[in-house]
Amino acid sequence: MNEEVASILNKINENIFEYKVDELNKNIVDLIDYIQLILKEVDSKYLDIILNILLELENAYENKDYLLYSDIIEYELKSVISEVRK
């Protein structure tokens, strides 16, 4: 995983726990932009995985379950992005 996306993911987690919703929203937009870039070149086996993770993130965000949101990023999204970017 490159340093830029790692920084975005870390900022998201920090902003979740500090309840900085405006910053969190900006970081989410940055993350979505990055994911759109990798989706263009991702192997099809990862496409469904990434899309399912994005749906989980959307549901957690809509339900204001920020702890779940953080866990999904930490334990699912980071590992998939690392695998895709090898």
Q: Tell me how far apart the alpha carbons of residues 49 and 40 are, in angstroms, rounded to a whole number.
A: 14
- What's the structural domain count of the chain? 1
Give the domain extent around 37: 3-84
Q: What is the pLDDT of residues 14-31, one digit of tens each?
A: 888 888 888 888 988 888
Q: Which tens digits make up the pLDDT trace of 1-15?
A: 678 778 888 888 888
Query: What pTM value is reported for the model?
Result: 0.75
Burial class, 23, CB count within 10 angstroms (exposed 0-12 / middle 13-18 / buried 19+): middle
Q: How confident is the model at residue 55 (pLDDT cuts 50, 70, 90)?
A: very high
Alpha-carbon distance of 45 to 6, in angstroms, equals 22
Tell me which amino acid residue 24 is: L
